[in-house]
Amino acid sequence: MRRLEYSIDLRSLRIFRLFRLARMLKLLRYGRAVDHFRMAFITIRTELTLFLITCAFVIYLASVGIYYFERVAQPETFGSVFDCMWWAVATLTTVGYGDVYPVTAGGKVFTTLILFIGLGIIAVPAGLISSALSEVWREEAEADKRFTEGD
């Protein structure tokens, strides 16, 4: 059977990609809110950096801990510390997919402790960000008040 080939040059239709840019320009309406978030993150960048370093360390410790408890019982799942990192990330972020879980008593107790640490890992950045946003909004309100009183 003979195959027909057609050659159509559609490169000229790339001009329509500019409409994507126009859609992105709609985000400028939210410029003030984005600026608030930017200022909040600038305010807490040191704390967030320290927190992320701490999280990486806790993930490593959790991986080593679960490896210690589960490597003999489940060598195919917890065969190395790096294999255990999937479990550590899923557990510490409180996602807990359920595809990897401990079966030994020590592993279950260790997992319970790690779950409580995971709650803090979620709560700490949320508290830092909300506190920084509150501070940014308070400072903006004070600046607006000074501006209106100056009239």
CA distances from 109 to 64, 70, 103, 106, 116 (A): 15, 12, 10, 5, 11
The H or E element spanning position 48 is helix 45-70
Per-residue pLDDT reduced to its tens digit, 97-114: 888 889 999 999 999 999
CA distances from 136 to 30, 39, 80 (A): 16, 7, 45
| CATH class for the region spanning 28-149 | mainly alpha
Q: Is 117:58 a contact under the CB 8 Å cutoff?
A: yes
Spell out the domain ranges in the chain.
28-149
**How far apart, in whole angstroms, are the C-alpha atoms of residue 148 and residue 133?**
22
* Identity of residue 1: M
Distance of CA 71 to the CA centre of its chain: 29
**How far apart, in whole angstroms, are the C-alpha atoms of residue 37 and residue 109?**
39
Q: Is this structure's pTM higher than 0.75? A: no
Per-residue pLDDT reduced to its tens digit, 1-50: 566 666 777 777 778 877 787 777 776 677 778 788 888 889 899 999 99
**How far apart, in whole angstroms, are the C-alpha atoms of residue 19 and residue 13?**
11
**How far apart, in whole angstroms, are the C-alpha atoms of residue 55 and residue 48?**
10
Per-residue pLDDT reduced to its tens digit, 82-101: 999 999 999 888 787 888 88
The H or E element spanning position 140 is helix 105-149
